[in-house]
Amino acid sequence: MTFLKDITWTEIFIFAHTCAALGCVLRVLYKQKNIGSTFAWLIILFLFPVFGTIAYLLIGEPRLGTARAKRTDEMNRFYQGFVETYLSNLYLDIGDKVKSRYHGISKVAASGTGLGATRNNAMTLLSTTDEIIDTILADIRAARHSCMLAFYIIEPEGRIEELLNELLAAADRGLDCAILADAVGSSRFFDSGWVETLREAGIEVHASLPVGVWRTFFTRTDLRNHRKILVIDSKIGYTGSFNLVDPRFFKKDSGVGEWVDVMMRCTGPLVLELSAVFFADLAVETDENLESVQQYLTQAQERIPEILPEKMQQGDIVAQVIPSAPEQGSHVIYETIISAIYAATKQITITTPYFVPDEPLLMALTIAAKRGVKVTLILPAKVDSFMVRYASRAYYPMLLDAGVKIAMFEGGLLHAKTMTIDEDYALFGTVNMDMRSFFLNLEISLAIYDRDITKQICNLQRDYLKNSSYITVKAWQQRSKFRGLIENTVRLVSPLL
């Protein structure tokens, strides 16, 4: 054993690190289901072994913590009973309202959530910041029972302070008010004096997916709650791309211009589904939340037969709430998007701020264009992420060669996340066209099976095109070869962005 005396600490470190790196490589090969992600992690581990090992241990797998997982399992069991009671009191036959080619897509969307398409909804598309905030303020002022908000980003400045003050007034009137904000996205909100002010007024304020040095070892801190939900009196619901930020102030020094967002105001059975998603998110944060939410949903479940379907009938729109999260067994929104693209026969138009597709999505879009479908991507000319900007551009040649039109929006950072198919089906919500939204973040979308509201979204997309310029194959081929090298290099790790 005398040879052990000759071993230096450096050699011990190298040996330990080699074992750790090899262990990570084996775990990547075993755990990662996506080929692109597997390849990207292997590149990082081989090129940057120290950094790669640490990075994989911290963010390589979607870990949300054991305690949260237990609460999620318990909430899911309870939630299933709520959904079954809810669905048993709805008229769910959409055969006469929805084209047959969309029936299968609806089943895909319901496969991971249990939430099918519902009839008798009404929707209002809100496409400017002032229109969004003014409408929300009016609904809060008219509220009689409750205001529930869940947002990725809350920045208390500009008109958002006006909205928070209206919440204080609602609490003063005796309404139940609660805010669930992502701990990272809304870090400035939690560091402000607003949280204490709101809590002193009786408003519950909760951090979704809290972070910290100690938590880093047990949870993956880059998994975020990206949902945007507002529910008022359990009768009015909102979702879309809009965070609680005033674009005149938000990231005004980032050089990308004001953020351009959209929201959908909903009434009808959809609102109960949005409420269920909100309370499920709230419940899994703490044991206390879980108990109180279960009590609330028990009371709500008892009232469902009384209010459905007659009192919830607000219109004739068929739509579906599609929540997704890394805890789900399937990637329901991703699968819905792919299914919808393959169902298109005439037109596909997509707006997204971040476009980093994987191979199946890229293939679906290029094949659609080759089939003769008019495929248009509307992307912001400037984005607030260096990596996403270059990774996204690496896919342009393949898309352009297939006949996909790429329009660069020049009126700010186009943050709207919409997809329209043949002007009679739309996906609308919080989901970006990237791997983070598909597989990692908590997201929410609306599937809309209605020609009129889809045409409104199509008209909005056309308005975006009026402020956009198209990329041509010739112009793209003339760009710097060095820039192309950077783009293709960044593309290697794009599955991790």
> What's the token pair of residue 490?
């960044």
Alpha carbon distance 484, 390 (integer Å): 9
Alpha carbon distance 129, 159 (integer Å): 10
139, 331, 415, 424: the catalytic one is 415
Does 206 qualify as catalytic in the annotation?
Answer: no
139, 182, 228, 261: the catalytic one is 228
139, 182, 226, 358: the catalytic one is 226
Contact (CB, 8 A) for 76 and 115: no
Phi/psi for 255 (5° steps) reads 80, 15
358, 417, 424, 450: the catalytic one is 417
Q: What is the H or E stretch that residue 369 is in?
A: helix 359-370
**Residue in 197, 130, 132 with CA at minimum distance from that of residue 164:** 197
Does 417 qualify as catalytic in the annotation?
Answer: yes
261, 358, 422, 424: the catalytic one is 422
Alpha carbon distance 158, 139 (integer Å): 19
Strand partners, 143: none
SS3 442: strand
Contact (CB, 8 A) for 126 and 135: yes
Q: Which amino acid is at 388?
A: V
Q: DSSP label at 310?
A: G
Does 226 qualify as catalytic in the annotation?
Answer: yes
Strand 413-414 relative to strand 259-260, pairing = parallel
| Burial label, 95 (beta-carbon count in 10 A; 0-12, 13-18, 19+) | exposed
Preceding peptide of 309 cis, ω within 30°: yes
Q: Is 427 left (phi over 0), alpha (psi -120 to 50) or beta?
A: beta
Phi/psi for 427 (5° steps) reads -115, 135
Alpha carbon distance 350, 361 (integer Å): 12
Alpha carbon distance 468, 378 (integer Å): 8
Residues whose CB is less than 8 angstroms from the CB of residue 93 and which lie 6 or more positions away in sequence, other chains included: none
134, 176, 222, 233: the catalytic one is 233
Residue identified by tokens 């074992």 is 19
Active site residues per annotation: 226, 228, 233, 415, 417, 422
